[in-house]
Amino acid sequence: MKVSEKLHEAKSGDNSENLSAAGKLAYYPGCSLKGTSFEYEVSLLRILEALNIEVKEIPDWNCCGASAAHSINHNLAVALPARNLAIAENGGYESVLAPCAACSNRLKSADYELKTDEILKKKITDSIEMPYNSEMSINNMLEFLIGVVGKDKIKTLVKKPLSGLKVASYYGCLLVRPPKIMQFDDPENPVTMDELVAITGAEPVDYSFKTECCGAINSLSKPDVVMALTGNVLYDIKKHGADLVVVACPLCHSNLDVRQREIERKYDEKLGLPVLFITELLGLSFGIDPKDLAIDGHMVAADRVLKKIEELSK
Amino acid sequence: MARIGVFVCWCGSNIAGTVDVEKVREEAAKIPGVVSALDYKYMCSDPGQNSLRNIIKEKNLTGIVLAACSPHMHENTFRKAAAKEGLNPYFVEIANIREQVSWVHENKERATAKAVDLMKMMVEKVKRDKPIEDVRVPLNKKALVIGGGIAGIQAALDIANGGVEVILVEKEPSIGGKMIQLDETFPTLDCSSCIMTPKMVEANQHPNIKLYTYSEVEDISGYIGNFKIRIKKKARSVIEKDCTGCGECWNACPMHKNIKSEFNVNLSERTAIYVPFPQAVPLVPVLDRSVCLHFKKGGKCQKCYDACGPKCINFDLQDEIIEETVGAIVASTGYDLMDTSMYGEYGYGKYKDVVSGLQFERLLSASGPTEGVIKRPSDGKTPQTIVFVQCVGSRDPEKGVPYCSKVCCMYTAKHAKLFAHKVHGSQSYVFYIDIRSTSKGYEEFVRSTMEQDGAIYLRGRVSKIYEDDGKLIVKGADTLSGNQVEIAADMVVLATGVIPKQGSDKLAQMLGISYDKYGFFTESHPKLRPAESSTAGIFLAGMAQGPRDIPESVVSGSAAASKILGLFSKNEYEVEGTIANVNESTCVACFYCQRVCAYNAISKKEIKDRSGKLIKVVANVNPGLCTGCGACVNACFSKSIDVKGFMDDQIYAEIKALAI
């Protein structure tokens, strides 16, 4: 049985141990997790350790092509992720975890195109000099946690419920769109991350801009646009009373976290919203030391929230 | 010895422009057995038909071939003309040299050669024709109407007024369908229930109509003239003949919370024993056993029984099965509103004040949950600004359906108009893709909504709706000015698209009629046979066939009724004689034919000797159901089935004619 079928069979089931024991879970970190979002990787590997799940980094992986390749050269945009996928597939893996939303988006898009276009497939497999048969399931962070690990298993590890904490989940665009290719959650009103938040014992906060654009890579070329868009999201979250924000995308994180001080200055209104990766929040609920989750690596300090967690758990 | 006449039609220049008709005639005259060949400008005209009849008489013809247009057009015309001269009508064959030759080819020489070939084939076929008699099927002069909305009621009334008995079956506790839920109707603003209730009452009281509400058709078998119907009359728990509809029972029912009223589209609550609305027909309550305390808590509660004067509540009533035989059926099962959950960005279900068009009808209606005062569901305040979003689900191949739901442009204009009339100083905005208002008085109606009632029409789609400080913020595009717009509204009404009634595909399968990929029933011919289904004796009406408004539904109901009255004006139904025929002496009873027959026309027949001993089982063709499609002929291993008029020797002769 293929991993994808297993996923389908038991959405909340636990297939991780078998797969992990068999060494069938590939991990594609991409550039962000090795650089600007190292906290994401640190916390991810830490919670997987707690869950007793082993993922193996794809050997000799390369850029997924996000941001630049698909707007310049279509073949390159497919070939780059296809090479990573082909290495994994030929290495006998059944499932790929790509925690970065842009990476998972590119990997899934390439896989979709190769699955539906025989001529393109021929061209790409010739140029990467490897066969590829689209036989693996490709998962973003949330899909992996809910579909491969399973809610029930995560629940068993929650030792320090975060009850009393109000958490807003911000999905951004790439996790759920385009829906035809991502095949994941409701593209206009996603709920998967909120479900994970609920498992930690925290209270998911409903607000209006869950999938609104954060401005993405315009952060470098048009920071004003990004501040306006990200500002909309952050102020709406604030208005709905959240203590912090969780994300599953490095670029979202960077805009919401790194630009926050500037946004506060520009709009002259305090935000003070720590932005954590979903893996960090899960880690906290597992009772892992915040330092081991690299929570001190963010621009907006999470101290107040950590203190609140400590107080609530007393 | 065959004496064949060949008639080559010019069809003006339609055929003669591309085919050398004289050459076809000359070639025909050379074929052995052809005693007369003629070409004429219009064979279908009176002089054309007369010359055909004269030649049949003069030359004592045994068969005729017309090289002319498609048999779909004039086969019948020429068969009748031949029959008048005493020739069996099945001795008329058509070589289609218009649709299959002149209209599709350009090269005259090659087109002529093809026309000659087709004509030759038909000459060889007609030489081998055998006389065929049409089959007559007796008719049970009683009709079944499935679905008691406006289309079904209209059909039932028209049939009943024509003196024919009708059985009207409705799934819900009351007839009236969707129309009785509407407030006022476009473009005249008649009150819907005021024009609907008299029809409902008439249907209930008509001596020729037998009404079964809260009932479903469970099984249908048979064929035109002789359909066997099984109806399940669900247990109402109320004895209908004794009930006065006084209302004591539902007033006594303790379950008056948390059960959403289907009639008010979840905007109000109902009791476990209830009538869906005050003008329900019949005015007899239904006990909803899925929520009733008596059934859920072991029979303790019987407050309705205690309150009932005539003691007509009976908790032990069981579902009843009723069997009927009818000669014709009208399928008018209506529609449902599309589920809009795929539009997460519109927040339907999440925000209480985002409602569907049908919910807004209930808010407008005097019999609705707010007694006709527009109050928004969240806090009961009267909205001052409403945004109407058209094409939610319709014309959206990505998320919804590609077709236009047809009624939404008009009902949205009506909603905006009634809102302006009821809440003075209010403002409505309508997001639309196109305005489709093509019937009588419709365009003027939409215009007046814009000009007199001040509705602001914005051409574009809505991208997101969210709540902010008690207002619904509607973000959308105004493509005419090229601007992004944001409107702070008190309420949003989604013009949800229509889809066929849930389960209509199953009914279609039971009836053996075809339906399209959306589930709408397909007419036999979209233009020329719009009231007929693909199966003889089953007719279509109302929205079950596709989106349409009230007048069109009424017309279609009447059309189906008139077809049935026409059918029943004779005592027997004539079926074309070109149907399958089993050679019983060679049939080996494998019944492969039965498996491939799409019309359930083949059954098993036992042949017994004089003493009643079974000798043999053979396949038997039901002439009322057989369409002569020929599938069984191909399936038959022992070559025991033929379709009359298309025998093997005829087909071989045609092929040979082509080869020589």
d(CA A292, CA A46): 7
Nearest to A142 by CA among A171, A117, A115: A171
Q: Encode pLDDT of B514-562 as tens digits.
A: 999 999 999 999 999 999 998 889 999 999 999 999 999 999 999 999 9
pLDDT band at A197 (very low <50, low <70, confident <90, very high): very high
ipTM summary value: 0.73
| Distance between CA atoms of residues B543 and B521, nearest Å | 9
> Do residues B14 and B101 make contact, with C-beta atoms less than 8 angstroms apart?
no
Cα distance between residue B549 and residue B541, in whole Å? 12
Domain boundaries, chain B: 4-127, 142-234+319-334+501-568, 236-317, 338-499, 580-644
Chain B residues touching residue A229 (CB < 8 angstroms): none
Residue B350 to residue A209, Cβ atoms within 8 A: no
Tokens of B161: 């007024």
Can you give the pLDDT at residue B299? 81
Looking from the CA of A196 toward its CB, the CA atoms found within 13 Å total: 29
Q: What is the pLDDT of residues B607-657, one digit of tens each?
A: 999 999 999 999 999 888 888 999 999 999 999 999 999 999 999 999 999
Which helix (H) or strand (E) segment holds residue B123: the answer is: helix B108-127
Write out the two tokens for A47.
């919670």
Question: Of 3.30.450.20, 3.40.50.300, 3.40.50.1000, 3.50.50.60, which CATH number belongs to B142-234+319-334+501-568?
Answer: 3.50.50.60
Q: Is A253 helix (H, G, I), strand (E, B) or coil?
A: helix
B344, B467, B468: residue with CB nearest A188:
B344
Tell how far CA A312 is from the center of its chain: 27
What is the per-residue pLDDT across B381-406, written as a single tens digit (0 to 9) for each? 999 999 999 999 999 998 899 999 99
The tens digit of pLDDT for each residue in B395-444 reads 999 889 999 999 999 999 999 999 999 999 999 999 999 999 999 999 99
- d(CA B116, CA B104) in angstroms, rounded, equals 16
Assigned fold of B580-644: Alpha-Beta Plaits (3.30.70)
Structural fold of domain A14-142:
Glutathione S-transferase Yfyf (Class Pi); Chain A, domain 2 (1.20.1050)
Tell me the residues of chain B between 428 and 467 that have a Cβ less than 8 Å away from chain A. Answer: 464, 466-467
Q: Are B89 and B83 in contact (CB under 8 A)?
A: yes
The whole-angstrom distance between residue B489's C-alpha and the CA centroid of its chain comes to: 40
Enumerate the residues of chain B whose CB falls inside 8 A of the CB of residue A186. Answer: 344
Tell whether the model's pLDDT for residue A12 goes beyond 50.
no
- Fold match flag (B338-499 vs B580-644): no
Phi, psi of B249 (to 5 degrees): -65, -50
Average pLDDT value over all residues in chain B:
94
User: What is residue A188's DSSP assignment?
Assistant: S
Chain centroid offset of residue B437 CA = 23
DSSP B99: I
The verdict on a CB contact (< 8 Å) between A188 and B467 is: no
How far apart, in Å, do the first and last CA atoms of chain B sit?
Answer: 21
What is the rounded average pLDDT for all residues in chain A? 90
Q: Between chains, do A188 and B343 touch, taking CB under 8 Å as contact?
A: yes
Q: A189 touching B, CB under 8 A?
A: yes
Q: Which fold has domain B4-127?
A: Rossmann fold (3.40.50)
Q: Which of B461, B466, B474, B475 to mutate to test the interface with A (most CBs of A within 10 A)?
A: B466
pLDDT tens per residue, range B27-60: 999 999 999 999 999 999 999 999 999 999 999 9
Residue contact A189–B467, C-beta within 8 A: no
Q: Residue A312 has what pLDDT?
A: 81
* Chain A interface includes B486 (CB < 8 A): no
Cα four-point dihedral sign A277, A283, A285, A290: negative
Inter-chain CB pairs, A–B, below 8 Å: 15
**B63-68 and B4-9 as β-strands: parallel, antiparallel, unpaired?**
parallel
For domain B338-499, give the CATH number.
Answer: 3.50.50.60
- B215, B538, B573, B597, B630 from B621: Cα distances, Å: 33, 20, 17, 10, 12
pLDDT over 80 (residue A18): no
CB B147 within 8 A of CB B333: yes
Q: Which chain A residue has its CA at the smallest distance from B468's CA? A: A208
Distance CA A252, CA A275 (A): 10
Nearest CB to A189 within list B344, B468, B473: B344
Assign domain A157-313 to a CATH class: alpha beta
Domain extents in chain A: 14-142, 157-313
Q: Is A189–B468 a contact, with Cβ atoms under 8 angstroms apart?
A: no
Q: In residues, how long is chain A?
A: 314
Nearest CA in chain B to A237: B468
Which CB contacts under 8 angstroms, 24+ apart, belong to B487-491?
A: B487/B385, B487/B387, B487/B429, B488/B385, B489/B383, B489/B385, B489/B386, B489/B387, B489/B429, B490/B353, B490/B376, B490/B381, B490/B383, B490/B384, B490/B385, B490/B386, B491/B353, B491/B354, B491/B355, B491/B376, B491/B383, B491/B385, B491/B386, B491/B387
H helices present in B423-518, as ranges: 442-451, 504-511
